[in-house]
Amino acid sequence: MAIYFLRRYVGRGVEVTAAFFVATLSPVLGFIMLFTFRYTFVADHYQYVACIGPIALATAGIVTLAHTFKQYQAVIMSAALLVVASLATLTWQQAGTFSDIETLWRTTLTRNPECWMAHTNLGLVLLQKGKIDDGIAHYRSALQMQPDSWDAEYNLGTALLGKGQVDEAVLHCERAVAMRPTDPDAQVSLGDSLLQKGRIDDAIAHYQKAMMVRPDHFLARYRLSNALLEKGELDGAIQVCRTALVIRPADADCHTTLAIALEEKGQPAEAIQHYEKALELAPRSIPALTNFAWLLATSQDASVRNGRKAVELSAEADQLVGGTNTLVLRTLAAAYAENGEFAKAIRTARSAMQLARMHGEVSLATNLNQQIALYQLGMPYRETAK
């Protein structure tokens, strides 16, 4: 009302500015529901567009003032520049909040410790950086503030699975699926947890549910192929793996899984093609290097075996893992034997057997002992048909 009556003295600029400010700000005042209102009803960026009017008015006012009081023009313009410089400094300081996503969410929590969404998002960032314990702590905080947050349950379950806490992971993933049964990622995460528990059929059921919701969900198909492979259903594993590669043809792990299934199916030639493709895509892939070397070193088919290449591949894998992986050492020993280097094969197999015993892998240690006996007789190991 005051603006309306003062317009004869200050002109209609103030009136137009006020109208512009209210009109552009009104959509975010709560009259129209926005998705972000789920988290907050206030935010600095809501007024970015609305501020154009007052900024234009202030700028015009300064110019008019400088023209009216020409004797003070330098003082007026200097004061304006000082204000702009101060605002620029504050903007630069505020921009630091957005330097990276972790800083953004940490700043949010510093200013608003009860923001459950910030806890969830920061937990995800930390999990991606490998800081699993810190991520888990933030997911737990989010669930204390928002117990019905299905995505916090799903992310917490995924983090716990990565930590090896399978039982608790299953619990949280089941809660996430109960809250949001149509989310394919939650179904896949629950399937992963159940697969770790050895409940293969239950895991397969959840992978299939994820595929029903989203047929082009690559991870659901890839994990299903692994579950079928573990169950021994080779035809199903091969079929699902092939469809997964249609969705994502440049996935090295999927090529490796398909190669393993083809190898077990007795199709080594095609298996080699997929191992080579996997290594072309990911030259440092330990599973691809190790499984390919094992095929080349132990195949029943003489046309497939290549001791020199098997040594090259398995030695590279061993170097990458730092000589601490039992299966890689076993493969390197078999490769040495195929290449006629039996002294190295015996020494490497004994190292692998010692590691297996340290880790409580009794069956693997027994197999290695039998393979050492072959190497001592100057005989390479041959994989039996499955």
Residue 97 pLDDT grade (very low, low, confident, very high; cuts 50, 70, 90) = confident
Residue with tokens 């090259």: 312
CA distance 197 to 286: 24
CA distance 143 to 119: 9
Residue 231 pLDDT grade (very low, low, confident, very high; cuts 50, 70, 90) = very high
257, 226 Cβ separation under 8 angstroms = yes
Same topology for domains 119-214 and 305-386, yes or no?
A: yes
* pTM greater than the 0.75 cutoff: yes
> Stretch 361-377: mean pLDDT, rounded?
95
Question: What is the reported pLDDT for 167?
Answer: 94
Crossing angle between the packed helical segments 150-163 and 166-179, to the nearest 10 degrees: 160
54 CB neighbour count, 10 Å cutoff? 15
CA distance 329 to 117: 45
The C-alpha torsion from 137 through 140 and 141 to 147, rounded to 10°, is 170
Residue 384 pLDDT grade (very low, low, confident, very high; cuts 50, 70, 90) = confident
The one-letter amino acid at 158: T
Examine the pLDDT at 32 and tell me if it is beyond 60. yes
Could you read off the pLDDT of 133-173 as tens digits, one per residue?
A: 999 999 999 999 999 888 899 899 999 998 889 999 999 99
User: Is domain 119-214 in CATH 3.40.1390.10, yes or no?
Assistant: no
> Stretch 201-208: mean pLDDT, rounded?
97
What is the CATH code for 305-386? 1.25.40
Among residues 135, 131, 130, which one has the least CA distance to residue 119?
A: 135
User: Domain segments of the chain: what residues?
Assistant: 1-31+43-73, 119-214, 305-386
> Stretch 67-73: mean pLDDT, rounded?
81
Among residues 198, 200, 242, which one has the least CA distance to residue 222?
A: 242
Residue 12 pLDDT grade (very low, low, confident, very high; cuts 50, 70, 90) = low
